Structure 1
Amino acid sequence: MARLARANHFASEEIAIVHVFNRVVRRCFLLGYDPVTGKNYDHRKSWIEELLKQQAKFFAVDILAFSILSNHLHQLLRSRPDVVATWDDTEVARRWLMICPQRKGPDGMALEPNEAELNSIRTDPDKLKMIRSRLSDLSWWMRLLCQKIAQKANAEEEIRGKFWESRFKAVRILDEQGLLACAAYVDLNPIRADLAELLEDSDYTSVQRRIAALQEEAADADKQRSDSFLAPLTIDEPRKALEPTPNPCGKRASDKGFLTMSVQSYIELLDWTARQIVPGKRGSTSTAAPAVLERLQLDAPTWCELVRDFGRLFSLVAGRPQVIDAARSRGRQSRFRAPHRLRELLPN
């Protein structure tokens, strides 16, 4: 059966939280140590993270979570057309020209656009409208990210051909249970893959960056935070929930959070979860499940299975079965299907 077009379950003109996933060709280890060739491509993980930071500055897309492994990449993203609406025509043109520059400096980085370059966009209403849409479009975010990494990797090895296996996979998040399970699934990927034992040692993950930021905050309040390109974890106060809250420092799209818990509580939940789903993980296991699970009406075994098997339980949309049943695709208004195992885990 043909895969449902992404435009049928999320689009650039609406705010959507989406888990995106991409894998390199032939399940090779082109982002880490490749045991077949004996080559180590770990430095390419740094390429990806630096590009995430760069795109976070100019796109209207919030990075909620990410993890970069040796043969695949996970991101939890939120599109922000409401933030784009706060930008005037000059800002829209400037941001696009910093993403896709007409001129670059000796270091290969984009140069600030001049008036002629800005006018090539802001004086053309059709082009300006198209670029406004692109700046909050997750498909364009992934298109440029994957394209630039593929080009750089192929140039490094002096080869041609595909670097990524296929077009990226995407799962739209529909409710708080699905959102929290997805964030935990993404952040715990290195531990589940037995690449790290501790959260702080889980290289190239958003949780490692958030832990580092907490340590930096305690040591030096003026230091640039390691998580400045990530969306804040804790959700905004209710009175600000509907506001765009664009980031004034230009490090990310907005200052809007996404979970109703503190960073410390989230880290404690991840650590507790890892000790349940990873056999032999170092440390003692608390018998009491974190309080957030009770609030979300999730028992410990159900929660652990949701996190461990998120990729198998959810294909196009993620949430409780009744929420999935109520959702419809954008085009034909088709129903989404919750798998039988999910209905067993989360009965109505």
Structure 2
Amino acid sequence: MPKARKQQVSLDDTRHYHCISRCVRRSFLCGRDQYSGKSYEHRRQWVEDRLLSLAKVFAIEVAAYAVMSNHTHLVLYVNVELAKDWDDVEVVSRWHQLFSGNSLTKRFADEEQRDSMESWELDIVKIQAELYRTRLMDISWFMRTLNEYIARKANKEDECTGRFWEGRFRSQALLDEQALLACMAYVDLNPVRSGMAKKPEESKHTSIRRRIQSAKVGKQPALLKSFTSSGGKDDALPCHLNDYLDLVDMTARVMVEGKGHMDDCTPSLLQRLNVEADCWLELTQGFEYQFSHYAGRVDSLKRCGDANQMQRVRGTAAAKRLLG
């Protein structure tokens, strides 16, 4: 029996989630239709642009993404503290960038009209702002705002109606840093694994390409969640960018050359994560299929299961075999 979305996404368990959306039609979401010969490649840019624009509005940061031919992979982080720091004016302003709001919130957004509002009107707006704040740090609302926009735009281009996506997105809770980094690498290497690119830096419409381009000039992408750095944020990704890029590069080389295993120069990041090289390769070639709704080490899965009063958490066998 499927788990309710509210049970799959619990910020008490983790702030990091892997989200997958798949296209329902025979013709590709963004590739070339082998029957008609028509190319839909431009739609990949639609997805990437919309995704990064939403990251500016929501209290949700993008850690990794890959826009494939008929599906998308995202690794998202819910920044609860950021949303709580917004005042009501900020919340309403952000909401109005995506939705129309109502007559009271429109007046509240206008500084001159706000000063003339009655106290009871301000009370109603305050309640509405809290609802907006909750939605702006809700992964379901984020994915809805992304996928619905793309579906409408694609339907208009195709001059048709009906469902564009297979259904609601699938999500996996990433419970610890081992699961998080393995999932990010899995997402970043999707184009390499599928043969769409030979190198990570050549894989278009992915976070890894954007990170590599920024790293060449000594920076991290402003629209992506940053890796740990001296004087960086406390909630940054749990390793240094160079370590992650080295690990992804070596993993990609193994995939392309078909070696089946890593050489003796295993990156130090794997050693710190306490993950065997062969297990890492297996994780980065099929992460979403190794785990169900929750992904992490055995102790993380047990802790999550106890907190949610679950008798059994699926994925324990894979966690024991692959993550130690």
The answer to whether TM tops 0.5 is yes
Alignment of 1:105-184 (within 5 A): 114-115=110-111, 123-184=124-185
Output the aligned Cα RMSD: 2.8
Matched, 1:188 2:167: no
TM superposition shift of 1:276: 2.3
Give 1:200's aligned amino acid.
Answer: E
Q: Given the superposition, is the C-alpha separation of residues 10 and 121 from structure 1 closer, same or farther in structure 2, using an over 3 Å criterion?
A: farther
When structure 1 is superposed on structure 2, of 161-170 and 264-273 the one drifting more is 264-273
Counterpart in 2 of 1:72? 71
Q: Matched residue of 1:139: which SS?
A: helix
Q: Given the superposition, is the C-alpha separation of residues 235 and 20 from structure 1 closer, same or farther in structure 2, using an over 3 Å criterion?
A: farther
Give 2:88's aligned amino acid.
Answer: D
Counterpart in 2 of 1:98? 97
Structure with more of its chain in helix, by fraction: 2
Counterpart in 2 of 1:324? 301
Q: Given the superposition, is the C-alpha separation of residues 294 and 332 from structure 1 closer, same or farther in structure 2, using an over 3 Å criterion?
A: closer
TM superposition shift of 1:227: 2.3
Alignment of 1:255-270 (within 5 A): 256-261=235-240, 263-270=241-248
Gaps of 5+ in 1: 104-112, 219-224, 242-255
The CA distance in 2 between the partners of 1:13 and 1:94, in whole Å, is 28
The CA distance in 2 between the partners of 1:344 and 1:81, in whole Å, is 33
Does the Cα contact within 8 Å between 2:25 and 2:164 map onto a contact in 1?
no
Does the Cα contact within 8 Å between 2:62 and 2:76 map onto a contact in 1?
yes
Q: Given the superposition, is the C-alpha separation of residues 30 and 9 from structure 1 closer, same or farther in structure 2, using an over 3 Å criterion?
A: closer
Does the Cα contact within 8 Å between 1:92 and 1:132 map onto a contact in 2?
yes
When structure 1 is superposed on structure 2, of 162-171 and 268-277 the one drifting more is 268-277
Does the Cα contact within 8 Å between 2:65 and 2:73 map onto a contact in 1?
yes
Gaps of 5+ in 2: 103-108
Matched, 1:231 2:230: no
TM superposition shift of 1:6: 2.1
Q: Given the superposition, is the C-alpha separation of residues 87 and 13 from structure 1 closer, same or farther in structure 2, using an over 3 Å criterion?
A: farther
Provide TM-score, normalisation by structure 1.
0.81
Q: Matched residue of 1:100: which SS?
A: coil
Q: Matched residue of 2:146: which SS?
A: helix
Does the Cα contact within 8 Å between 1:233 and 1:259 map onto a contact in 2?
yes
Does the Cα contact within 8 Å between 2:178 and 2:323 map onto a contact in 1?
no
Q: Matched residue of 1:328: which SS?
A: helix
Alignment of 1:22-101 (within 5 A): 22-26=21-25, 28-101=27-100
Q: Given the superposition, is the C-alpha separation of residues 196 and 122 from structure 1 closer, same or farther in structure 2, using an over 3 Å criterion?
A: farther
The CA distance in 1 between the partners of 2:49 and 2:297, in whole Å, is 35
Q: How many residues of Structure 1 are paired with residues of Structure 2 in the alignment?
A: 312
Matched-pair identity in %:
36
Q: Matched residue of 2:141: which SS?
A: helix
Counterpart in 1 of 2:18? 19
